[in-house]
Amino acid sequence: MEDSLKKKLAKDPTGLATYEYIANNIETIDAILPELVDNMIKVDSTGQFVVSTARYLNAISADKYAGAIDLLIKAAIIKDRDRAYLPGLAASIWGDDYKEHAADLASRDDNFRRIYKRLYPVGI
């Protein structure tokens, strides 16, 4: 990532500027996506744009961006303490009917298990 972009995004107070950069440059960011994801995780204190970025990358190509999506989901689990964004993330990544398949998804996907446990603390 160029130093000027790195400096600009390091000053991003919420993650919105980093999210916008990713969305507006999706065709050309593959080489610097790991740095962009790292920056997003550092600057977004609430998880709002971490979740938005995970959802966006999943919609573009879940397979291509699987590594970045995984990191963003892990960060979202930690950052979204109020559980404001996790329900939308779960539906976007695992489908609107994720509750119906919770046991199976939890047995196969640690991120899902952790999100479900946060959303429904009683258990699966």
DSSP 25-64: TTTT-TTTHHHHHHHHHHH-SSSHHHHHHHHHHHHHHTTT
Residues of the domain holding 44:
3-119
Query: Is pLDDT above 70 for 105?
Result: yes
Integer distance in angstroms from the first to the last C-alpha of the chain? 42
CB-based contact 58:94 (threshold 8 Å):
no
Burial of 85 (C-beta count, 10 Å sphere; 0-12/13-18/19+): buried
Does residue 57 form part of some domain? yes
pLDDT in tens, 24-67: 999 999 999 999 999 999 999 999 999 999 999 999 999 999 99
Q: How many domains does the chain have?
A: 1
In a domain? residue 124: no
